[in-house]
A and B are shown apart, each in its own frame.
Chain A
Amino acid sequence: MKHYDCKFYLATDVFKGMCKRDKTSINADDNSCQNFEKAQKCRHCLNFSYTSEDLGTCMGRYDAYPEMNAVTCKEFTT
């Protein structure tokens, strides 16, 4: 898994960010460390279904995309 997929990843820009736990600078696409925890994203939600590699639907009726943060989504279900 990548840092980009981790719950503790704080993105400063599209390329990089920092770890919320230890404040180290990290690249979004580098492999994550042993403290990795899955970020809350649409693709981990039970309401999400893929329609293609990059797109899907939410609750079967809304267009959605797998990589979107869902930390603020009240419908997020695992």
Chain B
Amino acid sequence: MAEDIYNYYGTKPREEVQAREAKKNPTPRVEKARQIYFDTKSSASMEFPYWYTRRWEELEGDVPIIRRAEALKSGFSHLTPYILPGELLAMRKAVYLRGSFPMPWLSEAFFLSKEDDLYKEAQKAGKASADEVTTMGQGGGNVTKSIGNIISIAGKFGLRKEEMPVLIKTAKKWYNKSVEDVGHKYEQLVPGYGTKEEIMRAVICMFDSGYTLPQGREVINYYYPLQYGIEGIKNICKEKQDQSAGYPDMERLYFYKAVYTMLEGLQNWIMNYAAEARFMASLENEANQKDEFTDIAERLEWLSSEKPRTFHDALQLVWIFHVAVLNEDAISGLSPGRLGQVLYPFWKQDMDKGIITKERTTELLECMRMKFTELDCFASMGVVGGVLSGNTFNNLCIGGLDKDGESAANELEMLILESAMSCDTPQPTLSLLFDEKLSEEFLLKGIECTKIGTGYPAWISNRVAMDFLMKNFRNEGMHLEEARAWSIGGCLETSPGCWMPLDLEGEKWFIPGGSAPATSVGVHFISLPKVLEAVLFDGLDKRTGIRVYPAHGLKLETYEEIWTTFKAYFSRTVELLTLTNNIQHSIWGKVSPSIINSMLKPDCLETGKDISNKGCRYNRTFNVEICGGVNLVNSLASIKKNVFEEKSITLSELKSAIESNFGYHSALESGSYSLIDQVKTEHYRDWLKIHKLCLDAPKYGNDDRYVDSIFREWQVWFSNMCENYRSIYDHPLYSCQISVSTHAPMGAVTLATPDGRLCGTTFADGSVSAYPGTDRNGPYALFNSATCYDHSQSQNSQLNMKIHPSVVMGREGSRKFLEMIKAYLRKGAFHVQFNVVDSRMLRDAQMHPEQYRGLMVRVAGFTQYWVELGKQIQDEVIARTEYEQLG
């Protein structure tokens, strides 16, 4: 009987599995590095947290930002250097290839044992609820179980058992001192705080933001190191320090002193690597490898104080600062932004001088891809698995417009695309900022890359993004020229940028970079179907039995009553989460302020204010993230039609059907998280009629005015209501519509929904993707539904599509594919991305993961190795509608 649902919602299998279009290969050096990566496990170490904590304790009583800078300096100065033979770019986060480390100054409870009292306290506060409903990928580099001398943490990271005692000891030193604990102490002062805890326990909200991933989903700015070099920045700090010592606004003095101190730590770190490179060279017998180690040493010795001379230098320096920021906080989505435009002056200079070739450039870019792919973010199971799917979201953007409004695409970006095809790895993911001024040659190169199944580049409208920026950042001084410097931070967060003047051998260039702090902080993913469930069941979470919201006591006799109650519950949720997360971020700024990222971000270095003191040029970055929007809208359409208009069923009957999961076993019982392969109970026939009515109700994605008008009403209301709440930086919030991976764990805790979706199954991904299998009228009908509202009202929209490889084969397929994307973006859409894959390949990969170590899929704003995804997400990707025609 499961086959019925498959045919109802899915696509009918074709006869043969269709391979993706031919792919390219990296250089032998990079292929070797990739094979080592494939065989490497995520590994954590205690070096950095040990030295950080030791220095922090030593300086008790000092100014907090100085204490933090000294602690960071100590951490960096003591990291054991690690250089692999064959590397052209050196330095990494920690002592392992996929190395990372806990940051107990942010959060210390989750890596303690579940029996530990500290962990129990976190559970009580609802902080561990998302961890408990998340499934991690069981393959690839994840250390899912403890074995031998290795202890598994969060189902992903391996830690050598001899480091466990010091982890526990260090974690306990941060008890009641970490951002998590101090924030928790003060967030309880928010009136109605108890409801916030129940919201977290019910997993209506996925997680807090102040201590989990306090930075990220933003665009880094590499300008200062490239323009001045480290010693040059230290000189600026010294000069500013002299100007501010003893004068009012003394916070400036401490900031400059902190930056100076932190840079000394980075210099020690770089020189330790240089020394290691010389040591490796001394052991080396093979002449080329010896020279490469020596080159690394010389380059690092130079860059430890001076500004870059060449493209290779510049790329190395960019990488050093990228890793440095990642080691300052738990961060996902620190995006390199428009890196091809940042590095272009150096590359052009080298090409003109004849000291680099396109082939060598591609190899260096492939090496860069491996470095980004190695990155891991150490966080709890709920965060790293439930939200990130192990991804780190380093989004590199290409295209867009330059300062003067002309195409910003360049030859180096063509090579970035080329290297992303020859070395197809998840990081950095690419986004193509589509503008009518981009050349056809450039766009077709982007299509060539999308077609081979990398999942990137994502296609994003430059115009819609600029509209959004002008609307939301005008009050902070944003003007048209500066709006053009924007980029994507994280998977899909539109982020403001700025142009900075780079001097290189007598020529001036304006390079883009980020100019705002983290986004996707504030209200971290509200599950819309779960809020609707609470409306239907009078404020209760039926899964846990807890009362989340005060009982509304309404009979819900009209559709309007349901819609109004939904808005009331949702608004209360946003209000509480905004207030409590503001407090967490306030504490973050006091206990663990950003120093490295602050130094990089204009205009912190100029003003002497760190990020938490609004040192950035633009500060309106807090947002309200949601999940499951399409399931909400489909559910509202079903209720409206079936219960109130056609009166085919009563609300009471619908609620009973939902509680009975329409006569099916839950996803947890069946082990399947999409509507495919669900298992019926013996009572299935009792609910068959109601289930059919729910499934047959109008569904978003078919250019159906009935349901699209509900979708539009929701979108307009949502974007407007966000303006009612203010961030810690005293700016209104705005809406953010990405699911990342939250549609899996949030679906897992949600009962069946009135649209016919079953209990525990994954929600629709993204924000304008149709629920898998329900978009039956072709891509253009989906586009019409998706663009029934103004996308520039929100920080983003997200559409994932799955295309069968046969549809886009050859040159003609490429052109048709590009025309389809253009058609969608010209309708006012913000974003679309693709999985070009035969679904049966994914099914086979699920059964035989060992044969698919390198298989990548696009999830929701990111590409990830199939084997590193949890089954909740795998099932959803398999179930997505597979388009076999573009017309």
Contacts and interface: CB of A to CB of B under 8 A. Distances in A.
B40 A55 contact: no
Interface in A27-78: 28-29, 52, 54-55, 62-69, 71-73
Interface in A8-25: 8, 10-15, 20-21, 23
Contact of B54 (A10, A15, A62, A71): A62
Given A14-B158, A15-B41, A29-B149, A54 B97 contact: no
A63 to B, nearest CB: 6
A71 B97 CA distance: 18
A54 B166 contact: yes
A50 B272 CA distance: 28
Contact of B50 (A12, A29, A52, A65): A65
Nearest to A11: B96
A15 B43 CA distance: 9
B162 A14 contact: no
Contacts of B169: 55, 63
B148 A72 contact: no
Interface in B147-181: 148-150, 158-160, 162-166, 169
Interface string B249-284: 000000000000000000010001000000010010
B85 interface: yes
Contacts of A63: 54, 166, 169
B105 to A, nearest CB: 16
B313 interface: no
B43 A14 contact: yes
A64 B79 CA distance: 15
B78 A13 contact: no
Contact of B163 (A8, A11, A62, A67): A67
A13 B100 CA distance: 11
Given A55-B166, A55-B169, A69 B95 contact: yes
B309 to A, nearest CB: 27
Q: Range of interface residues on chain B?
A: 35 or more
B80 A69 contact: yes
Contacts of A11: 43, 82, 95-96
B46 interface: yes
A65 B165 CA distance: 8
B40 A68 contact: no
Nearest to B141: A13
A13 B162 contact: no
A11 B92 CA distance: 13
A47 B150 CA distance: 28
Interface residues of A, number: 26
Contacts of B77: 72
Contact of A65 (B39, B143, B166): B166
| Chain A at the B interface: SS class | loop
Contacts of A55: 165-166, 169
B554 interface: no
A18 B162 CA distance: 20
B158 A15 contact: yes
Given A14-B41, A20-B283, A67 B160 contact: yes
Contacts of A29: 148-149
B149 to A, nearest CB: 6
B36 interface: yes
A17 B217 CA distance: 33
B306 to A, nearest CB: 23
Contacts of B158: 13-15
Contacts of A67: 160, 162-163
Interface string B423-445: 00000000000000000000000
B98 interface: yes
Contact of B85 (A23, A54, A69, A73): A23
B84 A72 contact: no
A52 B164 CA distance: 13
A20 B46 contact: no
Nearest to A62: B54
B47 interface: yes
Contacts of B46: 65, 68
Given A29-B148, A65-B50, A14 B96 contact: yes
Q: Which of A55, A67, A68 has its CB near the most chain B CB atoms (within 10 A)? A: A68
Contact of B80 (A12, A64, A66, A71): A71
A55 B95 CA distance: 20
A5 B43 CA distance: 18
B80 A72 contact: yes
Contacts of B41: 13-15
Interface string B821-844: 000000000000000000000000
B82 A10 contact: yes
A63 B171 CA distance: 13
B50 A68 contact: yes
B160 A14 contact: yes
Contacts of A69: 47, 80, 95
Interface of A: 8, 10-15, 20-21, 23, 28-29, 52, 54-55, 62-69, 71-73
Interface of B: 36, 39-44, 46-47, 50, 54, 77-82, 84-85, 95-98, 141, 143, 148-150, 158-160, 162-166, 169, 268, 272, 280, 283
Given A15-B41, A67-B160, A68-B166, 10 more contacts: A13-B43, A13-B96, A13-B97, A13-B141, A14-B159, A20-B280, A55-B166, A63-B54, A65-B162, A68-B50
